[in-house]
Structures are given as C-alpha cells and as structure tokens.
Structure 1
Amino acid sequence: MNIAIWLFVVLLVVAVLLGAVIGFFAARKWFKKYLEKNPPVNEQMIREMMRQMGRTPSEKQVRQILSSMNQYK
C-alpha cells in the first residue's frame, strides 16, 4: 500500500513537470505567432495614428512618442 502512494506521488510530480514544459513551449509558439500578426508599435504606426487624428507629426514628435512608449516596456 505504501509503494502505491509513493508511485502515485512520483507520477503526479512527473506529470506536473511535463505539463509545465509542454505548456511553456506551447505558450512560446503562440506568442511568436501573435507577434507576427500584431507587431509592436513602430514609427510608421505612430505617424498614421497622428494623421488619423488630423495632425501632421514632425520627426521629433514621432521619436518622442516612440521613446516614451519604449520607456514603459
């Protein structure tokens, strides 16, 4: 009876570790795929957003916004 309990505990620990490893790689693959579809904000996106708001941004404004966004990453 005692051996059965230890076997169950060992199998449970192995299953949890295996699940964690598989989960890590699955999440990594999903996140890479997500970043390909939705890339991080770049200068061109900032310019386009400002144009949609009715403003024509200068290069200095674009770089200020980009640096302030990168500061919070």
Structure 2
Amino acid sequence: MAIIGLGLILVAWLYQLYYVFKPRVEIKPFFVLVYALGLAALIFDGFRSGAYAPAWLNLTILIPVAIIFLKALKKQ
C-alpha cells in the first residue's frame, strides 16, 4: 500500500511540475523545502530499515520536488 501511495505522490508532483511552466503559478519555496526535508527523512529511514522500494520511490520523487523548488525560487 505504501508503494501505491508513493506512486500517487510522484504523479501529483509530476502534474504540478507540468503547471509550474505555465504563467501565473505560484508555489512557496518554504513549502517545497519542508516537503523535501520530510522526504529526505523518509528516504533515510527507508534505507536504514531495509525498506528499499519505498526509499527508492521517495528518492525518485525528490527529483521533481527539487526542480519545483528551484523554479519557485527564481520566481521570487
């Protein structure tokens, strides 16, 4: 079930990433930064506890999060 949930989160971030390139989109960098920190904690915990599939999914999700964070910083 966790893999399905993480897959949905990845889809949501990819969807958001698509709309970041449209005009008049505003995402607060603080939100993305805090989300990325939480995600990093999940990645660390997953690898530490041997839950490799969720950890790799979280690491994959971190890629669009980082792109959105950089785009949000440029818009401010």
Q: What band does the TM-score fall into relative to the shorter chain?
A: 0.3 to 0.5
Q: TM (normalized to structure 1)? A: 0.33
Q: TM-score, normalised by structure 2?
A: 0.32
Greater relative CO, 1 or 2 (CA 8 Å, sep 6+): 2
